Structure 1
């Protein structure tokens, strides 16, 4: 299996982990934003109130943190276009600081279709060329891809994610009202500092990043992140989040159905 395919598969898992958990993770005591004291941060951790536009970074980040305190699960879809290669991703994520879990399916068109499960700090993939039908490859935690995926799980600790996301957001501009899947939302243009996001990137991508990334984000009336779009070095992506708090079924494949990953 070629490295570029492995890297795309890793990115498919890392991006939902990073972006989705940033919106819906739990944190009992979020770190204060830059320039705030602990006391002033505590005053905003349960505010601002949901269902209104936010005109500055501090209010926007605080709103997402407050909205995510009780979220436990979410459904994620993502469409990527990388130099003409279209990738469609869908799945569910379970937010748990001690044991996060994800179940994703990735369709790369005629080139490959992968199913991925991250559970109990292990990674399973089905659809590798050469694997018997129905078999799941267990990713070696010491491999390049295994380390990237393990890192994505570590970054799914919401307390770490909040600190990194808050630090990465340089600018927030309110665009206006919009809808996502028929629900009322508020649209924002965000500028994120890539230096604050380096921990989530593959090692060989760190030097290729521009200094900032422009995101567009939509929050609903509960301040839940419902949609994110970005265009990074020719890779266009759109991710949507829904079904917050609904039950998900994420379990490891049976041992008899697993084999060592051919990589």
Structure 2
């Protein structure tokens, strides 16, 4: 149950954002197992920055292209999420890399048995749960015969940037500008974005489950000039979630636990 809760929470991260790392084709990384994810600082230019014209408000036709353009080179972010489901509250905070796919998250909630730490790197999840000695982790490899590996494989598939982008794009039906405001020091435009659930799921190769709403409305706070996502809120079938994202494109370091801190059950 704890692993399933961790999977569901982690998978909701890029799904709610709907777009991290959709700004371009995946790059060859030469990525090797057990190598920490460490993103380099962006090179600076000696040229004076060009002035950016005020951004026009977006609509259903321009929303995804603007978002895709804004995400170019922004493969990392620092995230927080608060999800309420079945009367229980779960919180999450951490860093995410979408190219290569990796995450380091701290999750709190009854579904996790209290506090759980999760590291995702090289198609492997490491879980530190309250019933383990401090600093120790379980290792679940998506390519192993571990019974939980199937769920992990499904999570990794759901977190595929290409799949997320295609689903969000296929299901987007409306993007309505609400207002311009300031959020955590960023000038942002708030939008109500309507997504056709059946169309989005079809793009993922899935059928719409019975009882699902026809549409989901995401409230999205997007940078007025940079078109980066800084906050997302949605409510669906008794599940509500609020997510914030910041530090887009800044270096992150995600490392697998050392071998001495891996335990078995």
Shorter-chain TM band? 0.7 to 0.9
- TM-score, scaled relative to structure 2: 0.78
Q: Paired residue for 1:23?
A: 20
Q: Paired residue for 2:4?
A: 7
Asked if the contact 2:113–2:129 (Cα under 8 Å) also holds between the matched residues in 1, the reply is no
From 67, 70, 77, give the equivalent of 1:67.
Answer: 70
1:39-88 deviations in Å (ceiling 9; x for gaps): xxxxxxxxxx8852434212001000001111121101001122331111
CA distance in 1, matches of 2:82, 2:174: 25
SS in 2 for 1:186: strand
The 5-angstrom pairing of residues 87-236 of structure 1 reads: 87-96=90-99, 99-108=100-109, 111-129=113-131, 131-139=132-140, 141=142, 145-198=148-201, 206-220=209-223, 221-236=225-240
Say whether residues 1:259 and 2:263 are aligned partners: yes
Asked if the contact 2:127–2:137 (Cα under 8 Å) also holds between the matched residues in 1, the reply is yes
Change (3 A) 1:191 1:158: same
SS in 1 for 2:157: helix
Higher deviation after alignment, 150-159 or 11-20: 150-159
From 43, 58, 61, give the equivalent of 1:58.
Answer: 61
Asked if the contact 2:18–2:168 (Cα under 8 Å) also holds between the matched residues in 1, the reply is no
Asked if the contact 1:81–1:237 (Cα under 8 Å) also holds between the matched residues in 2, the reply is yes
Structure 1 residue 199: deviation in Å? 8.1
CA distance in 1, matches of 2:165, 2:107: 27
CA distance in 2, matches of 1:243, 1:222: 13
Q: Paired residue for 2:35?
A: none
SS in 2 for 1:57: coil
SS in 2 for 1:107: strand
Higher deviation after alignment, 109-118 or 212-221: 109-118
SS in 2 for 1:214: strand
CA distance in 2, matches of 1:66, 1:18: 18
Q: Give the superposed CA RMSD.
A: 2.9
Asked if the contact 1:152–1:200 (Cα under 8 Å) also holds between the matched residues in 2, the reply is no
SS in 1 for 2:254: coil
Unaligned runs of 5+ in 2: 27-51
